[in-house]
Chains A and B, each alone.
Chain A
Amino acid sequence: AIQLTQSPSSLSASVGDTVTITCRASQGISSALAWYQQIPGKAPKLLIYEASSLESGVPSRFSGSGSGTDFTLTISSLQPEDFATYYCQHFNSYSHSFGQGTKLEI
């Protein structure tokens, strides 16, 4: 099974900062990667699909890049509502595995 490793596990930042979260796959997965945001007590929210496509309604300060084994989620000009936990996810026809998560804290 393909393993996803996110780094860092936690990250401290301030409003207005730009941050980058990395997701590394144990083998090549083309662009079959998504990013989610989860606020405590809430369901996950899809941000990015196909590694770099922005989901409808998601602010443009969120961006994704990468293909193969290395992927990044970048959040520019952090807003107070962006402090949450972020997960990457690989998807194929028969599996939808997640990374372990990155907690973004003030």
Chain B
Amino acid sequence: EVQLLESGGGLVQPGGSLRLSCGASGFSFSRYAMSWVRQAPGKGLEWVSTISGSGGRTYYEDSVKGQFTISRDNSKNTLYLQMNSLRADDTAIYYCAKIYSALTTANPHDYWGQGTLVTVSS
């Protein structure tokens, strides 16, 4: 059974940093690209970033380029999101999600974690 479990969310002051983690199990983690998707309170889904299975290719939504860094440790089956210079509008539930196919990142997300809440406030 595929399981994704996010952690690392919490309350952080504006300008602060936070690192989210997503532990994966139930599939061959290193074969699949993974993504972070966020959802601000009461708002829709927003894709944030995707990383290839090897970690060699990363992609970001324009608004987080230079601010967030996605990475992975395939030896630990763990996905990360380093978030710096946080602003109030980064407040959201952050989901990690698995890409459907091992062949390409050009696929939807078939499994999602339960999400971790990041609140940016003074």
Contact = CB atoms under 8 A, between A and B. Distances in A.
B25 interface: no
A93 B106 contact: yes
Contact of A100 (B35, B44, B47, B106): B44
Interface stretch (A12-20, A41-49, A67-75, A76-84): A41-49
Interface in A58-106: 85, 87, 89, 91-101
A35 to B, nearest CB: 9
B60 to A, nearest CB: 9
A3 B109 CA distance: 19
Nearest to B4: A43
Nearest to A38: B45
Q: How large is the interface on A (under 10, 10 to 19, 20 to 34, 35 or more residues)?
A: 20 to 34
A32 interface: yes
Provide the main secondary structure of the chain A interface: loop
Nearest to B47: A96
Given A43-B113, A98-B46, A34 B108 contact: yes
B107 interface: yes
Of the candidates A36, A91, A96, the one having the most CB atoms from chain B within 10 angstroms of its own CB is: A96
Interface in B68-120: 95, 100, 104-110, 112-115
Interface of A: 1, 32, 34, 36, 38, 43-46, 49, 55, 85, 87, 89, 91-101
Interface of B: 35, 37, 44-47, 50, 59, 61-62, 95, 100, 104-110, 112-115
